Structure 1
C-alpha cells in the first residue's frame, strides 16, 4: 500500500469528519485522464471514492467540479455527493456509487437496452432545460470554433499522424482542416445552445440504487460541462464506441430524443437531423483523438475502440455526401498507413 497516498487520504477523511478510519485502498480502472480514482474501505464497512489529481491542473479543475456538482445537485440531477475537496493538494472525496456503469448494465441486461437508453436520454434532457444561475462556470464556456477545432486537431495530431503514422501532404492537411473548419463554424454559429455534459457516454453513467425499474442513473466526470447543441450529448450517448448500437436502434432512440426534446431544440426534423450529423461527426472524430492518444501511450484497450468508431463514421455520414467524402478521405489515409483500420 502506498504510504503517501494512505496518509493523504487519511487526512482528507479526518478533515471531512467522516466516520470510520481508512483500512484499505483499491485503485479503480483508469480512464483517459490525468485523474486517478481509488476506493477507500473504511473501518465502519462503508466506502468512499477518492480522486487524486496533479496539483497543477486540480487548482482549476476541482473548483469547476464543485461548482457544476452543486448546480446540478440543487436542481435534482443525479450526481455523486462531494464530501471534501482540497484543490491545493489535488484531493477530493466523493460518494461511492459502485461499479455498475451503464456500459456494464447494457451487457448484463441486453433485453432492457431500450429502457436504459430512454432513461439516459430523459436524464440528459433534464439538465438541458436548466437556466443559468449566474454562478455555474459551464454557462461561461461554449463549443466555440476554437474548442471544436482544438478537438479536430487533437485527432489529426494524435491519431491520424501519431497513432497511424499516416503520410499526409501539406495540401491534404490544409484541405482536411478546411473541411473541419466548415463543420466547426456551423456548429458554433447555431444560437440555441444548452447545458451539455460534454462526455456523456456509457462509462460516465453509473446505475445505482438497485436494479431496474428501481435503479437511478447518476452522471460522473462532468467537470468540462459547457454550452453546446442539444445533439452533442445525444451523440456522445448514441455514438459510443464503448457500447456500439445497431443503426436501427440508434435511429429509434434519435426519434425518441427528437420527440421528447422538442421544447429544447425547437427545430424541424430536417434541421435536427442536419445538426445531428454534424455533431455526431465532430464528436466521433474527437473521441477517436482520445483513443489514438491513449493507444500511442500503450493503452491497447483504447486501440480496440478505433474500429467501431470508424464504422460509426460510415453510418453517421451515410446521408451526407460532404461528410461522407471527408470521412472516406480520413479512413483511406489511415488505411494506407495501417492494414488494421476496419479489418
Structure 2
C-alpha cells in the first residue's frame, strides 16, 4: 500500500506535515486508508480516488450524524480533487474482535447497537437518495447477474423480477430513516465518547433514505460473522418493544433480509470473479443460511418459489467451490 502521490503535501497543508503513514485494513471498494502518526496524535487518511470514488457523501453523512450526537468521525481536512480526506481516528478496537475475545459482552454490545438504530429512527432522513423499489431490485439482480452464471445456472430473470416486485411494497412503506447500509460488527468501533464507551460509526457513505429494518438486517444477519438465531430474535424483540414495531415491520425485516442477502451473494461472487478477491465467496454459505431463513417467512412466498425452482439446494454455497 503505497500512499497517494499528493498525500505529503495534503497533510502538510492540514498541519500534519511529516506524519508517518501506516496502511490500515480497507474494505471491498477502491478506497484505501492510512493511519497518519505525528508525534503523539493520530488521524486516518482516506484515499478515495476519483473517478472511482467520491468522498462527498461520506463527509455529508458524517456531519449529519455528528450534528445529532452520533459517534461519526470528525472531518479534519478535505481535498476533493485528489479524493483525500483526513478524519478522526477511531482506533482498531472493532466490535467484531471484541465479541470474539469477550463473548460475555455479546448481549451488551448488541443492545448498544440496537439502541443506536432506535435513536436514528427518531430523526427525519438526511438529504440522501431514496431506497426505493428500483434500487432494491437492481441490487437483488446481482445474484442472477453474478452468482448464477458462476455456478452454471441460466435463471428465469423475468420471473425473478416479478417475484421481487410482488413483495417489495412492505419494504418501502411507512416512515423513512437514514439507512447506513453496512451497519455490522466490523464497522462499529469501540471508542471513548465524553468519558464513556460508545460505538463509533464507519462506512456509511452509501447511506439512503429507506426502511428502518434494513440496518437491523445488516447487524443481525452479519455476512462476516455468525449471529445466533436466539440473539437475532432477542435483539429484534428489544427493537420492537422500544419502537412498537408490528407484524408489517417483521415482514419488512425478512423481505429486506432476503434482498440484502441475495445482493451480498452476488457482490461476493463479483469480488471473486471480477476482482480476484478469493476471501469473499467463502462467506457465501453463511449468507445462504440467512437467505433461506428469510425465505421461510410467508411474505417471501413468491421469491421462495422462484429460488426453489431455479437454484436447487446443492447449488447454494461457495460459488468458487461450486464452479470447480
Q: TM-score, normalised by structure 1?
A: 0.85
Distance change in 2, residues 1:119/1:85 (3 Å) = same
CA distance in 2, matches of 1:227, 1:35: 23
Richer in helix (by share): 1
Asked if the contact 1:168/1:333 (under 8 Å) is kept, the reply is no
- The answer to whether the 8 A contact 2:65-2:71 is kept is yes
Q: Is the 8 A contact 2:188 2:202 kept in 1?
A: yes
- For 1:330 and 1:78, how far apart are their aligned partners in 2? 44
1:27, 1:308 → 2: CA distance? 29
Paired position in structure 2 for 1:36: 32
Q: What is the 5 A alignment of 1:12-51? A: 12-18=10-16, 21-23=18-20, 25-42=21-38, 44-51=39-46
Aligned to 1:176: 160
**SS at structure 1 position matched to 2:113:** helix
Instruction: Provide Cα deviations, 1:33-80, integer angstroms capped at 9, x if missing partner.
Output: 1111111222x132211111221144xx32222221111101100001
Aligned residues of 2:281 and 2:320 also touching (Cα < 8 A): no
Tell whether 2:266 aligns with 1:289.
yes
Of the candidates 168, 177, 186, which is equivalent to residue 194 of structure 1? 177
Q: In the aligned structure 1, how far is the partner of 2:165 from the partner of 2:314?
A: 20
Contact 2:95 2:190 in 1 (8 A): yes
**Residues 339 and 221 of structure 1, relative CA distance in 2, 3 Å threshold:** closer
Summarize the alignment of residues 77-226 of structure 1 with structure 2, pairs less than 5 Å apart.
77-131=70-124, 136-138=126-128, 141-161=129-149, 163-164=150-151, 166-169=152-155, 172-188=156-172, 190-209=173-192, 214-226=196-208
Provide the C-alpha distance between the structure 2 equivalents of 1:328 and 1:308, rounded to a whole number of angstroms: 18
C-alpha displacement at 1:214, in angstroms? 4.4
**Relative to structure 1, is the Cα distance of residues 103 and 291 closer, same or farther in structure 2, using a 3 angstrom cutoff?**
same
The 2-side partners of 1:228 and 1:157 are apart by 24
Change (3 A) 1:336 1:27: closer
Unaligned runs of 5+ in 1: none
8 Å Cα contact 1:12/1:93 also seen in 2? no
**Does the Cα contact within 8 Å between 2:124 and 2:176 map onto a contact in 1?**
no
Q: Are 1:233 and 2:215 matched, yes or no?
A: yes
Shift of residue 185, structure 1, vs aligned partner: 4.2
User: Normalising to structure 2: TM-score of the pair?
Assistant: 0.89
C-alpha contact (below 8 Å) 1:167/1:333 kept by paired residues: no
Measure how far apart 1:329 and its partner are: 4.2
Once the two structures are TM-superposed, the CA of residue 92 in structure 1 deviates from its matched residue by 0.6
* Cα drift, residue 271 of structure 1: 1.5
Equivalent pair of 1:292/1:303 in contact (CA under 8 Å): yes
Establish whether residue 325 from structure 1 lines up as the match of residue 305 from structure 2.
Answer: yes
5+ residue gaps, structure 2: none
The number of residues matched between the two structures is 317
Distance 1:326 1:111, change over 3 A: farther
CA 1:260–1:90 in 2, change beyond 3 Å: closer, same or farther?
same
Cα distance between partner residues in 2 of 1:86 and 1:255: 44
State the shift of 1:29 in Å. Answer: 1.9
Q: 2:282 aligns with which of 290, 304, 320?
A: 304
Would the aligned equivalents of 1:239 and 1:312 in 2 still touch at CA under 8 Å?
Answer: yes
Question: Does the CA contact (< 8 Å) of 1:101 and 1:202 recur in 2?
Answer: yes
Q: Is the 8 A contact 1:32 1:290 kept in 2?
A: no
2:153 aligns to what SS in structure 1?
Answer: coil
Segment drifting more, 275-284 vs 329-338? 329-338
C-alpha spacing 1:319/1:64, structure 2 compared with 1 (3 Å) = closer
The SS at the match of 1:56 is coil
State the distance in 1 between where 2:316 and 2:279 align.
23
Can you list the C-alpha shifts for 1:287-330, whole angstroms capped at 9, x where unaligned? 22221111222212111110100111122223336143344445
